[in-house]
Amino acid sequence: MAMDASKRLRWGRKSGRVTIVILSVFLAALVFAAILAPVVAPHSPTRTSLLDALLPPGSADHLLGTDSTGRDTLSRLVYGARLSLVAPLGVVILSVVTGTILGLVAARRGGWVDALISRSMDVVYAFPSLLLALLAVAIFGTGLKAPIIALAIAYAPFMGRIVRGVALQELARPYVGSYQVMGFGSMYVVIRRVLPNLMPLILTQSALAFGYSMIDLASLSYLGLGVQPPDADWGTMINQAQSAILQGEPWSAIVPGAVIVLTVIAVNVLGERLGARLSKRDAVEE
């Protein structure tokens, strides 16, 4: 029994490493394809050909098939990766920076400052992120700028509340008092000592925020409120594949949908693994 348990443990570790490698390669391939889209894409993403409409995957000249107007799915997927990856990254950067600053200030200052920031974050957190994005589109019009800012505002309280809670625990630890006794200012202690200890948690939550924002932005594009033609992202591809689905040819919708799912899974798993490794390293150093 002990031998079987040991074998299962080794198999689990080996399969886990294989999964990490596969997901890493997948994400790296997406990023490089987005950067080198003009070189990687076999066709123009906007070139139409009704003679080649709704070709299934595996066709001689169209590896992933074509949509209802004959546009190459692989080419549109590669070019669409640019907006589909950059837009959620913008949401994550804005929300993480804002939420981290608010959480650290609330934890460090305490009192009425903490109460004001916490209650404000609670109010914003009560609104669904997609609803705020829809309101932004209704006020400022279609496109990506307004939804990115709205989603960043919606996700910032999520990060801020987590950072505040963990920062309060860190500020109560003996090493913080030791630095203050030695004459270090509170800003130095928070930025140079407390913040690095929060980085594993921030990275993990950033990965989750990336996945959520990618799904929200793809949903807006699917509704026709995000990226506008002739530009395209993966959500727009699914939206424009509705006619193909009705004709019994769902491939032009399945491919971008599958890529969205795999990308969210890959980012979440790798973000969690990176955060766990950083936490172990910090524990060893302590």
pLDDT digits over 115-161, tens only?
999 999 999 988 888 888 988 988 888 888 899 999 999 999 999 99
CA distance 77 to 236: 10
Count of all residues that appear for the chain in the document: 286
Q: Is residue 74 over pLDDT 80? A: yes
What residues are paired with 66 via a beta bridge?
72
CA distance 241 to 259: 15
Amino acid identity at 271: G
Token representation of residue 86: 């950059």
What residues are paired with 72 via a beta bridge?
66
pTM: 0.89
Domains and CATH numbers, the chain: 2-285 (1.10.3720.10)
Q: Is residue 182 over pLDDT 50? A: yes
Q: Write down the pLDDT at residue 82.
A: 93
Answer whether 218's CB lies under 8 Å from 234's CB. yes
Q: Write down the pLDDT at residue 249.
A: 85
Nearest CA to 261 out of 30, 58, 60 is that of 30
When pLDDT is cut at 50, 70 and 90, the band that residue 284 belongs to is very low
What residues are paired with 143 via a beta bridge?
none
CA distance 257 to 184: 52
pLDDT, mean over the chain: 87
Answer whether 32's CB lies under 8 Å from 83's CB. no
pLDDT tens-digit series, residues 240-283 = 998 888 888 888 899 999 999 999 999 999 988 888 777 766 55
| Chain centroid, CA 127 distance in Å | 20
Q: Is residue 1 over pLDDT 50? A: no
Give ∠ CA 205-274-272 in degrees, rounded to 5: 45
